[in-house]
Structure 1
């Protein structure tokens, strides 16, 4: 990569970050007004061949702002057949009333017996609804009304295809081996299809039925190999299954609720003995490096 292209990429990232700053401070106000007018929104159904389910998980330190994220998912211009919040069963008792009230507005809450951390946002969904089209979301993000429409607009109808709104681009050394995670192109503008696009599922990713390798729901393996890196695990399950990966949309700035609490995966994945590079090495040792094309 040339110095000029690197500078251009950094400039594009900075420009999009700056353009999203006003919404960072007004998102809750905007959301409140939209929620009050939800019955008058002009909404439409998706045109997928099967059921469309938006999935996320959460845990008590994030419950304070969880209702905001859920409302933004329920206000999408393109409606999903289900919006499912997957929770570890003991955490259910701590759910605030403003989240429970959303069950009357279209939210589905499902409880799981095993606390598999961030994996709860997709693994139980794949097990309960194997024939559905699954979209992933995080619990601390404000999703603009056109988020789901933008994601679905990039889907070309192939079941061996994963579409994402945000990705990092994997970089290689001169011999074609993976460079450390910190050297990857963060928030790339590359679109693909290209299996060097490492999707970030919380920003929004679409998984058609059967897109992922059959090992995807093997809790013993993912808890051992990539315990804090569900995106790493899902990426390997996609490439093992020969999925095309491409990024769609305009790479908008993620709007994260400032008051959400708890240890983030970003913090955990910086640790040398448990972080991204450690987990990636585990995946390479077990499944091999993906064949890039």
Structure 2
């Protein structure tokens, strides 16, 4: 595809996303349907600053889905904001959104306040970003994939960890987006499109506490994958390859990807988080999967 064709396609897609956002904004203003339903998983996200004025669009996209969460939690770290929420969030509260105050754990805020404060962690936990428009089957497909692979972390999008010949990890920016459905220790789930965590993972995260603070305070994906690796929990994709859902315009200026990926901050946080034993597990997984691929499908 030519550069001009790509540019036209991108502009058309952004126009389509803008139309979807307008429709969701109207639904958020005039909708009356409950956002939650008893049988669903818990969905948790966080927002802050200027994003709080737009995150109702993301929340509405979750609540209008074919399946709804049993709880829909929005974590914020500013008491003054909690006392004067935007009108759109107040309307969503009437329909089942829970807005909770927490300490500031950076990107870890989307999951850690829940696992550290909830007595019963038997219900699957799904994390979401506050700047994404999630499609109607988003939660349905996550849950169905989890039912097929109940021991796995389930992700829509993952990087494929690259282990070099000497057993070290290639730079994060060299890890391609995965097209290996898994389950696999080499699938490194990324939170953008949504990730489901089974009960065992939630309990492990609670047990590790705030250990992420000194090693990867700005890289929740690193801590989450490292915890899964140590617990023997593999990551599976919802689909046969990774997928990234559309983001709202104007929300990416301060996104973590600019520092964590482009500036290499993920590599430093990975070095601090993964022990020699962790690297050994990843090297063994890479060798095992390479051997299985060379053998081909069983006859």
Does TM-score exceed 0.5, indicating one fold? yes
Report the equivalent of 1:194: 184
Query: What TM-score do you get using the length of structure 2 for normalisation?
Result: 0.79
Contact 1:65 1:259 in 2 (8 A): no
Residue 156 of structure 1 aligns to a residue in which SS? helix
The one of 49, 68, 76 aligned to 1:87 = 76
Task: For structure 1, list consecutive stretches of 5 or more residues without a partner in the other structure.
Answer: 1-13
Instruction: State the TM-score, normalizing by the size of structure 1.
Output: 0.81
The equivalent residue for 1:232 is: 222
- 1:164–1:247: 8 Å Cα contact kept in structure 2? yes
2:256 alignment counterpart: 265
Q: Which has the larger radius of gyration?
A: 2
Query: Residues 102 and 38 of structure 1: is their aligned pair in 2 closer, same or farther, counting only changes over 3 Å?
Result: closer
Asked if the contact 1:240–1:290 (Cα under 8 Å) also holds between the matched residues in 2, the reply is no
Give 1:127 shift: 2.2
Taking a change above 3 Å as real, the CA distance of residues 19 and 205 of structure 1, as seen in their structure-2 partners, is farther
Match of 1:72 in 2: 61
Matches of 1:70 and 1:263, distance apart in 2: 20
What's 2:194 paired with?
204
Q: CA deviation at 1:156?
A: 3.2
The corresponding residue for 1:140 is: 131
Preserved contact between residue 45 and residue 75 of structure 2 (Cα < 8 Å): yes
Count the aligned residue pairs.
Answer: 272
Q: Per-residue deviation at 1:46? A: 8.2
Q: 1:215 deviation in Å?
A: 5.2
Displacement, 1:216?
Answer: 4.8
RMSD: 3.1
* Distance in 2 (alpha carbons) for counterparts of 1:223 and 1:72: 31
Structure-to-structure mapping, 1:87-126, within 5 angstroms: 87-90=76-79, 91-112=81-102, 114-126=103-115
Q: Which of 160, 167, 191 is 2:158 aligned to? A: 167
Measure how far apart 1:31 and its partner are.
Answer: 2.2
8 Å CA contact retained: 1:67, 1:98: yes
Change (3 A) 1:46 1:190: farther
Q: Aligned partners of 2:246, 2:29: CA distance in 1, in Å?
A: 21
3-state DSSP class of the match of 2:162? coil
1:40 is displaced (CA, Å) by: 8.1
Shift, 1:105, TM fit: 1.1
8 Å CA contact retained: 2:159, 2:189: yes
Cα contact 1:52–1:81 (8 A) shared by 2: yes
Cα offset, 1:214, TM superposition: 3.0
Output the CA distance in 1 between the equivalents of 2:11 and 2:176: 19
Counterpart of 1:9 in structure 2 is: none
* Distance in 2 separating the partners of 1:253 and 1:181: 18
**Of the candidates 283, 286, 289, which is equivalent to residue 273 of structure 2?**
283
Q: Name the counterpart of 2:20.
A: 27
Residues 220 and 53 of structure 1, relative CA distance in 2, 3 Å threshold: closer
Deviation at 1:45, TM superposition (A): 6.3
The gaps in structure 2 that reach 5 residues or longer are 1-6, 286-299
Higher strand share: 1
